[in-house]
Amino acid sequence: MNEATIRRCVPGDEHALSLIGQAAFLEAFAGVISGRDIVGHCQRQHAKEKYEAWLSDAQSAVWIAEVDPGRAPVGYLVLTAPDLPLAGVGPRDLEVKRIYLLHRFQGGGIGARLMSEARAHAIARGCRRLLLGVYGRNAAAIGFYERLGYRHLGTRQFKVGENTYDDVVLGLDLGS
């Protein structure tokens, strides 16, 4: 398979981000959570306007992974100001809001490369921690984050469509 290229997103990338977001969310959660919730969640949370807002927000940064031919989008990571119910969250924290890869492109190191872009960005901005919330039953993603050094900090409830799901909150100390 062709090597993926990772680049920082710019306004105009919202169409590609919305496309991967919906495809990867469906792939990741079909058979795991309610189908109705998946469709509703994708309509609202993976609308291109959602990505447009992040792309024009100075506090957020988005990276996309693309493959040839023709730079097809296969994954992305969204970094934002934190919105997590955790004591002590402050301006020197950032949240990995979303990271998704199409199934065929998982397991080849692209996820780790996206996380490394986010980490370098956070360190360059003088941040203290990277935080994230992940569905408590998403053992594969939790294993991936733990492999990168993330540790359990708490829990939260996360609304997807009509239902609420239990997430764990993980964090990585950036040593600054």
Ligand X SMILES: CC(C)(COP(=O)(O)OP(=O)(O)OC[C@H]1O[C@@H](n2cnc3c(N)ncnc32)[C@H](O)[C@@H]1OP(=O)(O)O)[C@@H](O)C(=O)NCCC(=O)NCCS
Instruction: Determine which residue in the list 118, 134, 169, 170 makes contact with ligand X, applying CB under 6 A.
Output: 134
Pick 14 or 105: Cβ nearer ligand X:
105
Pairing of strands 61-67, 5-8: antiparallel
Pairing of strands 129-135, 93-101: parallel
Pick 89 or 102: Cβ nearer ligand X:
102
Our finding on whether 100 is near ligand X (CB under 6 A) is yes
Residue 73 CB coordination number (10 Å):
21
Our finding on whether 141 is near ligand X (CB under 6 A) is yes
CA distance 118 to 163: 30
Tokens 């100075």 found at: 58
Binding to ligand X (CB under 6 A) within 55-94 occurs at: none
Q: How far is the CB of 70 from ligand X (least distance, A)?
A: 21
Binding to ligand X (CB under 6 A) within 9-38 occurs at: 24, 28
